[in-house]
Every structure is written in structure tokens, then in C-alpha cells.
Amino acid sequence: MNEPQQKWTETIETNHSLFDIQLKEVWRYKDLIYMFVKRDFISSFKQTILGPIWFFINPILTTIVYLVVFGAIAKLPTDGAPPILFYLAGVTLWNYFSASLLATSSTFLGNSAIFGKVYFPRLVTPLSIIISNFMRFSVQFLLFLLVWGYYLSQGKVHPNIWILATPFLIVLMAFFALGVGMIFSALTTKYKDLSMLLGFGISLYMYATPVIYPTSALQGIFKKLAFYNPLTGIFECFKYAWLGVGNFSPLMLGFSTIIIIILLLIGVVVFNKVEKTFMDTV
């Protein structure tokens, strides 16, 4: 006797397009974002002696190393800005970008156990990473403000109206890290070697970005190539706004904005495409 053919009564599947960011749904899961941010903050300093003080120690020690190596030994110019403040500005911005990019790039691999058990908008995870790293950036930016305030009282820095663009610069950096991070997180589901390649690539990318030197120190082809680096406009605008030095132009920042928005859109498309099938490959 043939058994009756079984039919599915319900089918669970995604119904959003590749360009759908699902912001309304993400907002409904804002409590989950808060939990992820809290988890990242606590796990970062669990079983450490100094705890959140490392937020200050990291940029201070890095700035001192740059001051000795690139300032005293290599004698790289700082366009007349106090060297310690020049390097601290670069370190503060770079730490936020690099940490956000590296953490976002491991979204799928690092959270596959959670993704396989419960549903929530996958975009929640990279967004929580960007926010948790922003908290770290806020603490380090406070350190920068303290040092900047000291040199301002000495008349050694000359800020200008572009200082009001600082929130926009931070958002651009976050979007850049988010977009590129989502692209790599999608690719690493099939090619895990890319995660190691990215770590090495970020180390090299720092030297292609005006973190430890101003673009005015570049000549020829290197100066032209620096213009096409999306981070160049952000770093130069930040230093020009707060320190009053640098080779900044609005065109440079406009180009960076366009490139970053394009990369963010590509990241969203790739992320949305891979999230539907990544559990079959990880």
C-alpha cells in the first residue's frame, strides 16, 4: 500500500533582496546589539589585571614607538605639528579602523554556532562590532583630546572649521571597515586563507595610509597613489581640522566618500547573498 505523499505545510525562507539592509528589522533587535556589544567589551578584558586601562596604554605605547622610530630615527616630517600629537591622531584613527575591519571580516566564521541555532538579522553582528569598537575609540579619542588641549593652550596647534566634520569622518571610517569587512567575511566562508592574508594586508595598508607621515612628504607616483586611498582624505582632513596641518582638499574627501559608499553597497550585496547559504560551507 502506497503511503500518501507528504507535503510541507510551511516553508521558512528569506524574502529580502540583495540590496535590502533590513534596518527596520535590525532596529527591532537593538537589545541583541546591546548584548553583543556588552559581550565584546567584557570578553576583551576578562582575566586581565589592568582591564579597560589598556584602552589608554595601547595608543600611548604605540605613539611612543612611532615617536622614536619614525620621528627621532627616520626623521619623518609632521608638517610642523607636535610629533606626539601628530602620531597620536593617526594611531587613534587607525586603531578604530583596523580593529573594526579585522573583527567584521570574521563575522560568519566566528558566529557560525549562533547563526546555526537561532534566527536574527545577520547584519546585527557586524553592526555590534562597529559599535563596540567605537566605544574603544571614544576612550582613546578622549586621550587625544587631553593631549590636544594641552598643545592648544600652548598655541602649537591651529584648529579650524573642518573640526565640525569629525563625526562624518568617523562614520566614513566605520562604513569603510563595515563594507570591506563584510566582503571578506563572505569570501572567508569558502577561502579561509583570506583571513590570514587580511591580517598581513592591513599591516601593509597602514604604511600606504598617512598615519605616520603627511601626504606632503610624498613625491611623484606615490603622491598620486595616495589620492586613491579612501583613508587618505579622512586622515588628512582630521589632522588638518584638529592640528591645522596637512595637504587636505575637499575633493580628496569627496573622492573617499564616493569610494566608501560603493564598497559599502558591494559589501551589503555580497553579505546578503552569502548569508543564505554560508552554513553549507563553514
Q: Is residue 10 part of a domain?
A: no
| Count of domains for the chain | 1
The amino acid at residue 57 is: I
Q: Is residue 111 part of a domain?
A: yes
Residue 32, Cβ density class (10 Å: 0-12 exposed, 13-18 middle, ≥19 buried): middle
pLDDT band at 242 (very low <50, low <70, confident <90, very high): very high
Q: Are 282 and 115 in contact (CB under 8 A)?
A: no
Q: Is residue 8 part of a domain?
A: no
Q: Is residue 136 part of a domain?
A: yes
Put residue 89 in one of left, alpha, beta given phi > 0 → left and psi -120 to 50 → alpha.
alpha
Average pLDDT value for residue range 240-246:
93
Contacts of 132 (CB under 8 A, 6+ apart): 36, 37, 40, 41
Q: Which three cell numbers stand for residue 84?
A: 606626539
Any idea which residue has 553597497 for its cell?
A: 265
Average pLDDT value for residue range 188-203:
83
Q: Is residue 264 part of a domain?
A: yes
Degrees, nearest 5: CA angle 242-175-274: 165
Average pLDDT value for residue range 188-192:
78
Residue-wise pLDDT tens digits, 107-117: 777 766 676 67
Q: Is residue 35 part of a domain?
A: no
Q: Is residue 28 part of a domain?
A: no
192/109 Cα distance (integer angstroms):
9
How far, in Å, are 82, 89, 143, 155, 172 from residue 148 at the CA level? Answer: 10, 9, 9, 10, 22
Where in the sequence is the domain holding 188, given as residue range(s)? 52-280
Mean per-residue pLDDT over the chain, rounded: 84
Provide the residue count of the chain: 282
Residue-wise pLDDT tens digits, 138-164: 989 999 999 999 999 999 999 999 999
Average pLDDT value for residue range 5-16:
56
Residues of the chain with pLDDT > 90: what percent?
Answer: 46
Q: Is residue 269 part of a domain?
A: yes
Residue-wise pLDDT tens digits, 18-46: 555 567 777 888 888 888 888 777 776 66
* pTM reported for the whole predicted model: 0.86
Q: Which three cell numbers stand for residue 11?
A: 516553508
What does the CA dihedral 135, 60, 79, 226 come to, rounded to 10 degrees? Answer: -60
Average pLDDT value for residue range 211-223:
89
Q: State yes or no: pLDDT of 207 exceeds 60.
A: yes
